[in-house]
Amino acid sequence: MQALGRQILVEFYDCDRAVLNDENLIRDIMLEGVRRSQATIVTDAFHCFSPHGVSGVVVIAESHVAIHTWPEHGYAAVDIFTCGETIDPWIIQKYLEIHFGAGNVSSMEMKRGLFPERLAHKPMPLEELAA
């Protein structure tokens, strides 16, 4: 079976609580982790909640990386979704682990969009789809 993408669901525990509550720092860490994986950044959006917590997403040409933090618990949930075979999502996971100061990490990888035939990751022109 061939997959359109790989999705890693990551739980970071025992993290630096100050880092997990700093919207700008989280954004910088996420963007640098994505850059190190050689993914193509399209855009990003982050939001800091009151009294604490940050949510954000980095949209990449190869899919996305999203985060939700609970600084009061030293916990962050991250979704790393990459399509194609050129991006290693584990590079992103490791970079985040180090920079969040995670004491414990739980990760699960899933294959997304399973098909029996070999898949092309570049879209077909719309004219060919209609035929």
Q: Of the listed 15, 37, 63, 64, which one is catalytic?
A: 63
Q: What are the φ and ψ backbone dihedral angles of 109, each rounded to 5 degrees?
A: -100, 135
The one-letter amino acid code at 107 reads S
The CATH number of the domain holding residue 11 is 3.60.90.10
Say which DSSP state 101 is in. T
Q: Of the listed 68, 106, 107, 121, which one is catalytic?
A: 68
pLDDT tier for residue 3 given thresholds of 50, 70 and 90: confident
Q: Of the listed 83, 99, 107, 121, which one is catalytic?
A: 83
Q: State yes or no: pLDDT of 119 exceeds 80.
A: no
Instruction: Check if 83 is active-site.
Output: yes
Instruction: Check if 68 is active-site.
Output: yes
* pLDDT value of residue 127: 66
The one-letter amino acid code at 104 reads N
* pLDDT value of residue 115: 82
Instruction: Check if 107 is active-site.
Output: no
Tokens of 100: 């969040």
* pLDDT value of residue 51: 95
* pLDDT value of residue 86: 87
Q: What are the φ and ψ backbone dihedral angles of 119, each rounded to 5 degrees?
A: -110, 145
Looking at the 3D structure of the chain, how many domains does it have? Answer: 1
Average pLDDT, the chain: 91
Q: State yes or no: pLDDT of 121 exceeds 70.
A: no
Instruction: Name the residue range of residue 126's domain.
Output: 2-130
Rounded to whole angstroms, the Cα distance separating 25 from 12 reads 16
Q: Are 80 and 65 in contact (CB under 8 A)?
A: yes
pLDDT in tens, 19-53: 999 999 999 999 999 999 999 999 999 999 999 99
